[in-house]
Amino acid sequence: MAKMYYNNDANLELLKDKKVAVIGFGSQGHAHALNLKESGVDVVVGLYKESKSWSKAQEQGLEVLEVAEAAKASDIVMILVPDEHQKKVYAEHIVKNLEEGNALVFAHGFNIHFSQIVPPEYVDVFMVAPKGPGHLVRRVYSEGKGVPALLAVYQDYTGNAKELALAYAKGIGATRAGVLETTFKEETETDLFGEQCVLCGGATELIKAGFDTLVEAGYQPEIAYFECLHEMKLIVDLLYEGGFEKMRYSISDTAEYGDYMIGRRMITEETRKEMKKVLEEIQTGQFAKDWLSENTMNRPVFNAVKRRELEHPIVEVGKNLRSMMEWIEKK
Ligand code: NDP
Ligand code: MG
Ligand code: MG
């Protein structure tokens, strides 16, 4: 069993005389800044002057400065701008404001692991990565609970990096739910693998393939949508609550028999072989290189595929059906 850390393993006092700069005020940024503040930590938000987040952060009672000033004023700098912008923000505004013994913190290992950011040797470098979207990190904290997180130390200059990381994790509420120690390598590679093969890429292609098969066979697209997409959540909720056992307990025996017989015909040996290949491309840095070069070229492939995906019939069908389901939260 992996070692887990909880509230009693972390000491918020370690943050008492320190100032934390949260760079960015998006999904994770707003959650970290507000949770830390409510945990009694001295927080400043770092943004660029024209950012639409600037007034939002101020309205919620937070001090806001430009990135360089925020980094300069603080001892701990948490970088929560999008991964593909971090290298530039770091080089232009942060590195020259890091003093000896400061800490540089991440919520995802990509830029460190793939050498986009190479920090000076005189700072601590660690990661506190909540395993959930930022809006949940905030909401769940307000309810007195927490979203679990991963913790990793990349560089321990002060000898205190892990304790500091645990204190930070406590400040955002993560030690209420459990914090697991990992490495930047493990977090980065498993995160990319999960989103590509299972959670995002795997799930959407599976749904689309099911939807297309039914529609091409002449069934109503609305039925196909409910069956292949809408019901996915209901099944995933059961998986989340009680694993495969609870899901299989809850479905009919017919569904359970179909699950056992057919699942392996969908995810075949060939699919597993392809997964290994994808993992290899992540491990060798091939994926990182492709994604970084996409970004230097204004994302030609990303934009083209995104456009094509939006033209898929499941988009229109889904829009209409969801508009009738008032209980589905609209953004
Ligand atoms: P978002 O895209 O939600 O937020 C980005 C924020 O950074 C915005 O406030 C944006 O301002 C600001 N920003 C953008 N460019 C700059 C810049 N040049 N200088 C200063 N501020 C800038 O990011 P996420 O919260 O999704 O991701 C942040 C980090 O957290 C990433 O490392 C990600 O991998 C990690 N992470 C994210 C999770 C999530 O739930 N989304 C889950 C776990 C980890 P503006 O409002 O003006 O655009
Ligand atoms: Mg990810
Ligand atoms: Mg059914």
The pLDDT of residue 67 is 98
Does the annotation place 252 within a ligand binding site? yes
CA angle (209, 196, 295) in 5-degree steps: 115
pLDDT of residue 161 exceeding 60: yes
152 — phi, psi (to 5°)? -150, 140
Q: Whose CA is nearest to atom 46 of ligand 1?
A: 53
254 C-alpha to center of ligand 3: Å?
9
Give the position, in ligand 1's atom list, of the atom nearest the Cα of 106: 32
Q: What is the ipTM of this complex?
A: 0.97
CA distance 201 to 194: 9
Among 105, 41, 97, 39, smallest CA distance to 65 is for: 97
Residue percentage of the chain with pLDDT more than 90? 97
The pLDDT of residue 3 is 87
What are the pLDDT digits (tens) for 136-156? Answer: 999 999 999 999 999 999 999
pLDDT of residue 331 exceeding 60: no
Name, in order, each residue with C-beta under 8 angstroms of 206's C-beta and a sequence gap of 6 or more.
Answer: 266
Give the position, in ligand 1's atom list, of the atom nearest the Cα of 29: 25
Q: Tell me, yes or no, if 230 is annotated catalytic.
A: no
Please identify which of the residues 32, 108, 135, 230 carries the catalytic annotation. 108
107 C-alpha to center of ligand 2: Å?
10
Q: Which residue has the higher pLDDT, 134 or 1?
A: 134
Q: Does domain 4-182 have CATH number 3.40.50.720?
A: yes
What are the pLDDT digits (tens) for 175-199? Answer: 999 999 999 999 999 999 999 999 9
The pLDDT of residue 325 is 87
H/E element, 106: strand 103-106
What are the pLDDT digits (tens) for 19-33? Answer: 999 999 999 999 999
What are the pLDDT digits (tens) for 212-230? Answer: 999 999 999 999 999 999 9
What are the pLDDT digits (tens) for 80-97? Answer: 999 999 999 999 999 999
The pLDDT of residue 57 is 98
Q: CATH 3.40.50.720 spans which residues of the chain?
A: 4-182
